[in-house]
């Protein structure tokens, strides 16, 4: 089973790249974040013509999450009300016995901002929801754009992120509490040091590999035992056929049957 997560940074702006990704990578399950549109404006034919089922939680202009699957999608849950404050940042579904939670967590802007306080509330609500709906023995995958780099190695220059959202001590504490439920970073040890998943459009960050790893697969032990490979699909961050990429690269997780 091949799972791919990708912050697409506007699905309508990236429709052609999405089409190429589906044909080249052929994921069994694709989780997209930052759709920036409503469910009725999703290019459904791109998915349905390739045999994918869809579950979408969208909103105008901002946020938005989607799960596409070759197998039927069951038990769909949308949102973290009231703690998501009406923003479309979470969708969960069961696919072939695997519970998949697709997340676009808040970025936080600055440590003294209301948006950072919202980020911390969101993480606390997420932890509570996971504990209420699953156990460490549940075949569970949390994936998406977490907007947290959990280790210094996940930042191109940790000195630039001291007390800054993405690597702030308060959000790292939330991350540790989330993982303590019984979750494991499935990309480790499958990636090399300085493997990143996001590079800012500005300052030639991608060219100089000035990135951060904020797109993750967190899995429970039953899923971890099935991990075959995991990788960041870095080449999809490059311009293709004149098409502007997202500022995130897709991340891939392959599970044994």
Q: For residue range 187-202, list pLDDT tens digits in order.
A: 999 999 999 999 999 9
- Sign, Cα dihedral of 41, 69, 74, 57: negative
User: Residues 137-156: what's their mean pLDDT?
Assistant: 98
User: Residues 226-253: what's their mean pLDDT?
Assistant: 97
What was the pLDDT predicted at 212? Answer: 98
What digits encode the pLDDT tens for the residues 32-78?
Answer: 999 999 999 999 999 999 999 999 999 999 999 999 999 999 999 99
What was the pLDDT predicted at 137? Answer: 98
User: ∠2-24-139 over CA atoms, to 5°?
Assistant: 10
What digits encode the pLDDT tens for the residues 82-139?
Answer: 999 999 999 999 999 999 999 999 999 999 999 999 999 999 999 999 999 999 999 9
All domains of the chain, ordered by start, with CATH?
2-255 (3.60.10.10)
What was the pLDDT predicted at 225? Answer: 98
What was the pLDDT predicted at 165? Answer: 97
What was the pLDDT predicted at 243? Answer: 96
Assessment of whether the complete model's pTM goes beyond 0.85: yes
74-90: string of b/e by CB count within 10 Å (b at 16+)? eeebbbbeebbeebbbb
What was the pLDDT predicted at 234? Answer: 98
User: Residues 161-180: what's their mean pLDDT?
Assistant: 97
């Amino acid at each position: 089973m091949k799972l791919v997560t990708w912050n697409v940074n506007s699905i309508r702006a990236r429709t052609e790249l999405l089409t190429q990704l589906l044909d080249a990578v052929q994921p069994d399950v694709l989780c997209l974040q930052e759709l920036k549109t409503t469910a009725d404006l999703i290019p459904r034919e791109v998915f349905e013509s390739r045999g994918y089922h869809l579950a979408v939680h969208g909103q105008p202009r901002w946020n938005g999450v989607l799960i596409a699957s070759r197998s039927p999608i069951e038990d769909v849950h949308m949102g973290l009300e009231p703690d998501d404050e009406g923003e479309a940042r979470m969708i969960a579904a069961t696919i072939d016995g695997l519970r998949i939670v697709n997340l676009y967590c808040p970025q936080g802007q600055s440590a003294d901002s209301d948006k950072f306080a919202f980020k911390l509330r969101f993480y606390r609500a997420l932890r509570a929801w996971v504990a209420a709906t699953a156990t460490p023995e549940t075949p569970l995958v949390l994936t998406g754009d977490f907007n947290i780099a959990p280790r210094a190695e996940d930042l191109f220059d940790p000195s630039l992120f001291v007390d800054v959202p993405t690597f702030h001590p308060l959000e790292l504490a939330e991350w540790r509490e989330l993982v303590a439920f019984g979750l494991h970073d499935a990309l480790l040890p499958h990636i090399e040091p300085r493997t990143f998943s996001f590079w800012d459009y500005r300052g030639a960050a991608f060219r100089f590999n000035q990135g951060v790893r904020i797109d993750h697969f967190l899995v429970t032990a039953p899923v971890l035992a099935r991990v075959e490979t995991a990788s960041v699909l870095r080449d999809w961050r490059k311009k293709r056929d004149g098409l502007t990429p997202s500022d995130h690269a897709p991340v891939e997780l392959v599970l044994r049957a």
